[in-house]
Amino acid sequence: MHFQITKQRAMALMGIESSHDFDDIVNQHEQKLFEWKQEILQKFIVPSLLRKKQNQLAEWIEAEKLTVQPSESKDVFRLEKLNTTNRVAMLEQYESDISLLKLKLTQAEFFSHLPAIVQGLLEVQENYMQAFVDLFSSYSEALPEEVNSREIIDTGKLLFALKQDSIDNKLSWAIEREISRIKKIQGLN
């Protein structure tokens, strides 16, 4: 999707009052970008929320071009396909991919660097959700009213327990809640 906005709209979007104060323009840009990155970090686990942010990026990128002239992103990253046959391998890859994407997100200096990162977060999260439901299908689902769509299971703890072959009742309950959370989210898409 490509569209153009006016310099006046770009400045309003960025919260810039005067085009004569370069320091103010840079500070406002950095503040808006920081807010966006924080919101993406909070919403990446719910793909439908992240898609809404993704759809808004084009306008912010155009505003950025008219206010701060961003540099091109030379950052290239490659995500491996999640293993869908082994729980430990799947969770290790998920943790690795999410860590990489969060790092890339925090390092991004311009809105124009975000589309590939956001797309990566969407793909990793959607693949994780499908693989999790498939690999943990032996667990039942928790009651839907007991599940918050933004409360993801602690995959690090689950990974450690799987490696130790020590899934207790508390972790079993967390797995059941995660399955329900995922199915709830998938129903929103």
- Residues of the chain predicted below pLDDT 50: 1
pLDDT for the residue 99: 93
- For residues 185 and 129, is the Cβ–Cβ distance under 8 A? yes
Distance CA 165, CA 187 (A): 32
Residues 144 and 180: beta-carbon distance below 8 Å:
yes
Cα–Cα distance for residue pair 18/128, rounded to 1 Å: 45
Report pLDDT for 86.
96
pLDDT at residue 69 in the model: 80
Q: What is the pTM of this model?
A: 0.86
Domain boundaries, the chain: 7-188
